[in-house]
C-alpha cells in the first residue's frame, strides 16, 4: 500500500515538473512578481525584531538592546489609545459597510443596461475618478467645502441657511467626508471585477426566466447575485483582513487641529511617531499589533465564510 502511494506521489511530481518545463515561458512571467514580493513583503519582516528592542540606527538590529514588551505596554497605556483604535475602527467599518455593496449595485445596474454605447460611457465616467491622485482629491474637497468660496456653503446661503461652515475642520463630519469621497473615487473601479463575473453568466438562464415570467429584479436576485456570490465573499474576506489598516495618505492630508479627535488613526499615529519623532521601535510595535489584529480577523472571517457559504481563501 505504501509503495503504491509512493508511486502515485512520484508520478504526480513528475507530471508537475513536465508541465512546468512545457510552460516555462509562462512561469518566467511570474519571476518579477515573486522578486517584488520577496523584496518588499518578506525581506522587511526582519525589522519586526525592532518592536522588542530599544532600536538605534547606529547599533543596528543585532546590536540594539532587547526590551521585551516595553513598547507594547507604552502603546496600551497611552491616554489616547482607545480613541485612536476607535477612530480607526469607525472609519474602516463605515467604509466596509457602506462602500462594499455600492460597487456591486453599480455593476448590476451597468450589466442590466441594454445599450452598449451607454454602458461604455457609464463605465468610463465611473472609472475616471479612480485615477485622480489623493492630493488632488483632498484639494478638490477643500475648495468645494471652503467656508468662504465653497460651492456647498454658497448653495446653503442661496437657500437661506448659514453658509459659513468649515466642514473640513468639523470632527463629526470627518468620517463621512473620508468614506463618501472614497466611494465616489473607487466605486467604478471596484465594480470591474463584478462586471467580469457577470459576463460569465449564461444568457440562456435569463431567457428561460423571462419565459417563466420573471421580472428584472427577480432575475438579478436569483441569477446574477448567485453568480457573483463567490467573488463577493472572497473580496469581503480580504477587506475584513484590512479593517485596522486605514491608509494614512488621505487621512493625513485631511487632518487639521480641529478634527484630530476623530481623524487620528493608527496609521497616521505610526507615521508621526516613527518618521517625525524617530521612535522606530515604538512605531514597529504598533505596526506589529495592527497587523496581528488584521491577521486574526482574516482567519476568523475566512473560517466563518467557509462554514456559511463554502467559499474561502484557503
CATH topology classification for 80-308: MetI-like fold (1.10.3720)
Buried b (16+ CB within 10 A) or exposed e, 194-224: bbebbeebeeeebeebeeeebeeeebbeebb
Of 84, 138, 92, which is closest to residue 253 (Cα–Cα)? 138
* Non-local CB neighbours of 74 within 8 Å, separated by 6+ positions: 282, 285
pLDDT digits 0-9 by tens, 172-191: 999 999 999 999 999 999 99
pTM of the complete model:
0.85
pLDDT at 284: 92
pLDDT at 31: 92
For the chain, which residues make up each domain, given as ranges?
80-308
Helix (H, G, I), strand (E, B) or coil at 66: strand
pLDDT at 137: 95
Of 309, 312, 287, 289, which is closest to residue 299 (Cα–Cα)? 312
Three-class secondary structure assignment of 204-217: HHHHHHHHCCCCHH
How many helices (DSSP H) and strands (DSSP E) are in the chain?
19, 0
Residues of the chain where predicted confidence (pLDDT) is lower than 70 = 1-13
Asked if 195 and 107 touch (Cβ cutoff 8 Å), the reply is: yes
Q: Could you identify the residue written with the cell 466611494?
A: 183
Asked if 44 and 52 touch (Cβ cutoff 8 Å), the reply is: no
* Non-local CB neighbours of 260 within 8 Å, separated by 6+ positions: 171
Helix (H, G, I), strand (E, B) or coil at 148: coil
CA distance 264 to 271: 11
Q: How many CB atoms lie within 10 A of CB 251?
A: 23
pLDDT at 154: 85
Amino acid at each position: 500500500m505504501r509503495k503504491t502511494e509512493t508511486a502515485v506521489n512520484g508520478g504526480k511530481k513528475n507530471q508537475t515538473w513536465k508541465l512546468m518545463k512545457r510552460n516555462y515561458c509562462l512561469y518566467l512571467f511570474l519571476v518579477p512578481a515573486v522578486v517584488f514580493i520577496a523584496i518588499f513583503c518578506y525581506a522587511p519582516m526582519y525589522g519586526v525584531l525592532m518592536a522588542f528592542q530599544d532600536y538605534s540606527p547606529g547599533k543596528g538590529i543585532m546590536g540594539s538592546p532587547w526590551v521585551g514588551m516595553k513598547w507594547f505596554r507604552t502603546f496600551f497605556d497611552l491616554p489616547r489609545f482607545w480613541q485612536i483604535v476607535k477612530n480607526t475602527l469607525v472609519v474602516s467599518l463605515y467604509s466596509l459597510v457602506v462602500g462594499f455593496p455600492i460597487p456591486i449595485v453599480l455593476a448590476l445596474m451597468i450589466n442590466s443596461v441594454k445599450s452598449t454605447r451607454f454602458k461604455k460611457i457609464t463605465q468610463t465616467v465611473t472609472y475616471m475618478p479612480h485615477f485622480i491622485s489623493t492630493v488632488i482629491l483632498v484639494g478638490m474637497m477643500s475648495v468645494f467645502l471652503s467656508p468662504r468660496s465653497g460651492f456647498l456653503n454658497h448653495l446653503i446661503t442661496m437657500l437661506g441657511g448659514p453658509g459659513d461652515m468649515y466642514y473640513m475642520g468639523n470632527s463629526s463630519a470627518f468620517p463621512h467626508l473620508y468614506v463618501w469621497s472614497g466611494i465616489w473615487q473607487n466605486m467604478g473601479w471596484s465594480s470591474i471585477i463584478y462586471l467580469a463575473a457577470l459576463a460569465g453568466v449564461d444568457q440562456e438562464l435569463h431567457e428561460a426566466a423571462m419565459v417563466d415570467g420573471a421580472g428584472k429584479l427577480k432575475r438579478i436576485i436569483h441569477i446574477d447575485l448567485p453568480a457573483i456570490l463567490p467573488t463577493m465573499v472572497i473580496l469581503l474576506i480580504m477587506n475584513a483582513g484590512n479593517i485596522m489598516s486605514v491608509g494614512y495618505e488621505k487621512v493625513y492630508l485631511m487632518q487639521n487641529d480641529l478634527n484630530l479627535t476623530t481623524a487620528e488613526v493608527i496609521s497616521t499615529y505610526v507615521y508621526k511617531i516613527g518618521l517625525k519623532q524617530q521612535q522606530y521601535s515604538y512605531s514597529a510595535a504598533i505596526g506589529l499589533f495592527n497587523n496581528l489584529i488584521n491577521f486574526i480577523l482574516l482567519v476568523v472571517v475566512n473560517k466563518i465564510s467557509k462554514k456559511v457559504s463554502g467559499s474561502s481563501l484557503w
